[in-house]
Amino acid sequence: MIVVFSGAGLSAESGIPTFRGAGGLWEGYKIEEVATPLGWMQNQKLVLDFYTQGFEKMQQCQPNAAHFAIAELANHFNVVCITQNIDTLLEKAGVKDVWHIHGRIDHEKCEWHFDIPPMYAQWQCNYKAQINKPVQWGDLCPKCGKHLRPDVVWFGEAVDMRVDDLYKIQSQVEVFIVVGTSAQVYPAANLLKFFQAVPTKYFIDPNPNYEVLDGFNVLEGKATEYLPALVESLKEELA
Ligand code: OAD
Ligand code: ZN
């Protein structure tokens, strides 16, 4: 089994800026205003504007050679594809069943129910749906009537790490590929520790985070430069 764990760098060459680079996705916006539950409570319109821009941008972008290489890998081997990206370029490239641990831009869900005491009711109804246009100001949940919001994980919110599934696969993983992430955002970055003992590990990034490279074969460069070639060599090695 092969695990591919990706971050914003995977989609950089498709035209989606990374978060922490210059001209990054947050530029012009304060993270706490557009990507926290408090920001949502204070200014829903601003948050929706930010994600509408993101939605439109991401819909226009096309997968790059690195996304297609991951799809090719998944055609040949048992691959678990875990991404922090909310774009759907891996799906567009043909990867089925991507684990979007930070949510995905093409889904909507129901907002938090701050007015309901947590001991009496769930804080969020479980409505979630695929969308082909961004959530608009005034769009209400068909199930409970609260406001809809993008299905993305904000700071301070729980990340769906699928821990049970991770423990099921941990001992079966032969190759772990990390691509395009600063590995600074937790709990996502814990995956590097979780798969520490995997025999063969690769880290592809033009500016890798040297603090997390223990045991990795470091391929210092862009995803499109290294991933297609790595996939071809794995196809030969593991055939
Ligand atoms: P970052 O913006 O923190 O890091 C992007 C990484 O991609 C950096 O290490 C870059 O060097 C690298 N990179 C840039 N161009 C690349 C290329 N062409 N090929 C390969 N790598 C390249 O993005 P993430 O690590 O994904 O979370 O950020 C993690 C999380 O922080 C995001 O999912 C988001 C953000 O807050 C949420 O929104 C919850
Ligand atoms: Zn609802």
Same domain, 170 and 220: yes
Q: Is the CB of 206 under 6 A from ligand 1?
A: yes
How confident is the model at residue 116, as a pLDDT?
59
**Residue 215's domain spans which residues?**
1-15+64-102+160-239
Tokens of 138: 């005034």
How many whole angstroms separate alpha carbon 100 and alpha carbon 83?
5
How many whole angstroms separate alpha carbon 203 and alpha carbon 140?
42
CATH number of the domain at 21, please: 3.30.1600.10
Annotated binding site: 110, 141, 144
User: In the β-sheet with 217-219, what is the strand arrangement from edge to edge?
Assistant: 98-100, 79-83, 2-6, 175-179, 200-204, 217-219
Per-residue pLDDT of the chain (239 residues; tens, 9 = 90+): 999 999 999 999 999 988 876 666 666 788 889 999 899 999 999 999 999 999 999 999 999 999 999 999 999 999 999 999 999 999 999 999 999 999 999 999 999 876 655 555 556 788 999 999 999 999 999 999 999 999 999 998 889 899 999 999 999 999 999 999 999 999 999 999 999 999 999 999 999 999 999 999 999 999 999 999 999 999 999 98
Same domain, 82 and 54: no
Counting the structural domains of the chain, the total is 2
Task: Give the strand pairing for 2-6 and 175-179.
Answer: parallel
How many whole angstroms separate alpha carbon 37 and alpha carbon 20?
21
Note every long-range contact of 28-34, with CB atoms under 8 Å and residues 24 or more positions apart, other chains counting: 31/155, 32/155
Annotated binding site for Zn(2+): 110, 141, 144
Q: Which residues are designated catalytic?
A: 102
Mutate to test the pocket of ligand 1, among 16, 184, 185 (most ligand atoms within 8 A of CB): 185
How confident is the model at residue 122, as a pLDDT?
54
How many whole angstroms separate alpha carbon 87 and alpha carbon 96?
14
Cα within 13 Å of Cα(52), Cβ side: 10
